[in-house]
């Protein structure tokens, strides 16, 4: 039996054509049924939700979430941890995310893969898959990762990564540490292979792109820079039209001018907002422990005692605000960078990332300051 018809009305709706204040969104069975005029007769028989003129944006999709709500995925890769992290990020409009495991042991990696599979099977709202950031990374660009755990993939790793499971699998690796044939095998199995924490040169990165690398983890950070005679990883990323680039727009990881250079260099749709969020997001506690080091969030910056950045205290609503206020982007483009573009990166564009008929009813409700008032996931409302 079909669920009751819901009508989200009196909102400024972010459609494919931009904001519309003269339509309502009809939702049934967790999906958008139609966008209709305010006087459509179907509204009279629907459960009406008056949004009071608020902004209704497609729900945000974050492909890099290490933690939130005081929880770190690495500490306990369980369904319960995933429930807590997802709930923390829902408060900031994130309706879909990839829990991200930072470099760890092989047993921890397998536990994380199993936990995400179980969470999706159980229907934990917002879990779209997993992002494994490591352990196939370069010591020279390790950042906060524990280089003693870095290694090259073995047969067991490849079996675990390519096994049939629920949700998207994204893997950050250093191209110089993984054979191009392995990259091709992973990509052919559907793994979203991305480059990051890498000291590769341009030629090696270009070969990895040809083999199946589809994007770059937190562009500019932990990778070889663009210079005059050696374009490096950054140059390869900006030169390649097909790949996506994750951008941490928090005002700390990358200078706003460098972010604008990337956005202007890449074709439309290829720059994606990410948070690289850590446990302080959605928590009153500013500190956490990673690899035995105490990390503290101060003024929005997460770092250890030596001043090394360790993820961020950024949420997706904050990333959208910064894209508008720091980078000068139109709200419609900032919204796409947080929704439809990451959906395309994950291969989920048929079901996620837009407010359009047939899409999942995943929305973020924001006020004029771009603060989140609530979110909807598959037609279920969650207050902020």
The annotated binding site is made up of 133, 144, 197, 218, 221-222, 229, 253, 309-311
Phi-psi region of 241 (alpha: psi -120 to 50; beta: other; left: phi over 0): alpha
Structure tokens at 28: 């049934």
Handedness of CA 59, 313, 172, 235 (dihedral sign): positive
Catalytic residue among 104, 157, 276, 362: 276
**Does 276 qualify as catalytic in the annotation?**
yes
Cα-flanking dihedrals φ and ψ of residue 119, to 5°? -65, -40
> What is the rounded CA–CA span in Å between residue 187 and residue 190?
5
Q: Binding-site residues for substrate, please?
A: 144, 221-222, 229, 253, 309-311
Distances (CA, A) of 222 to 210, 234, 268, 316: 21, 10, 24, 21
Cβ-contact 270, 244 below 8 angstroms? yes
Q: Binding-site residues for Zn(2+), please?
A: 133, 197, 218
Alpha helices (H) in 123-222, listed in sequence order: 155-162, 180-188, 202-211
Residues with Cβ within 8 Å of 240's Cβ and at least 6 positions away in sequence, in order, are: 206, 209
Q: What is the DSSP secondary-structure string of 86-118?
A: HHHHHTTTEEEEEEEEES--HHHHHHHHHHHHH
Distances (CA, A) of 296 to 88, 104, 312, 340: 18, 21, 10, 32
Give 25's DSSP letter: E
Identify the H or E element spanning 262: helix 256-265
What residues act catalytically? Answer: 276
């Amino acid at each position: 039996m079909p669920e009751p018809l819901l009508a989200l009305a009196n909102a400024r709706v972010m459609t494919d054509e931009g904001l519309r204040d003269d339509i309502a969104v009809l939702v049934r069975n967790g999906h958008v049924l139609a966008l209709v005029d305010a006087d459509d007769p179907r509204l009279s028989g629907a459960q009406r939700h008056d949004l009071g003129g608020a902004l209704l944006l497609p729900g945000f999709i974050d492909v890099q979430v290490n933690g939130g709500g005081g929880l770190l995925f690495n500490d306990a890769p369980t369904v319960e941890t995933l429930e807590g992290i997802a709930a923390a990020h829902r408060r900031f409009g994130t309706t879909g995310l990839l829990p991200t495991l930072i470099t760890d042991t092989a047993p921890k990696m397998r536990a994380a893969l199993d936990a995400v599979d179980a969470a999706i099977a159980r229907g934990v709202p917002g879990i779209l898959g997993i992002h494994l950031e490591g352990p196939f990374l370069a010591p020279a660009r390790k950042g906060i990762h524990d280089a003693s755990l870095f290694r090259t993939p073995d047969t067991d790793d490849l079996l675990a990564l390519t096994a049939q499971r629920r949700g998207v699998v994204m893997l950050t690796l250093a191209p110089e540490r993984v054979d191009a044939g392995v990259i091709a095998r992973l990509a052919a199995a559907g793994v979203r292979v991305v480059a990051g924490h890498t000291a590769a040169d341009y030629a090696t990165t270009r070969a990895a792109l040809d083999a199946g690398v589809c994007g770059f983890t937190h562009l500019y950070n932990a990778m070889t820079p663009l210079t005059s005679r050696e374009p490096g990883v950054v140059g390869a990323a900006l030169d390649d039209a097909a790949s996506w680039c994750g951008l941490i727009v928090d005002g700390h990881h990358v200078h706003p001018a460098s972010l604008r250079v990337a956005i202007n260099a890449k074709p439309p749709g290829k720059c994606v907002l990410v948070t690289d969020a850590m446990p302080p997001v959605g928590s009153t506690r500013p500190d956490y422990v990673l690899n035995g080091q105490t990390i503290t969030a101060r003024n929005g910056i997460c770092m250890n005692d030596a001043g090394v950045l360790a993820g961020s205290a950024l949420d997706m609503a904050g990333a959208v605000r910064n894209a508008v206020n720091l980078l000068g982007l139109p709200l419609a483009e900032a919204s796409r960078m947080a929704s439809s573009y990451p959906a395309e990166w994950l291969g989920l564009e048929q079901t996620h990332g837009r407010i359009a008929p047939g899409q999942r009813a995943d929305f973020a409700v924001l006020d004029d300051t771009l603060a989140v008032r609530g979110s909807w996931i598959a037609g279920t409302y969650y207050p902020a």
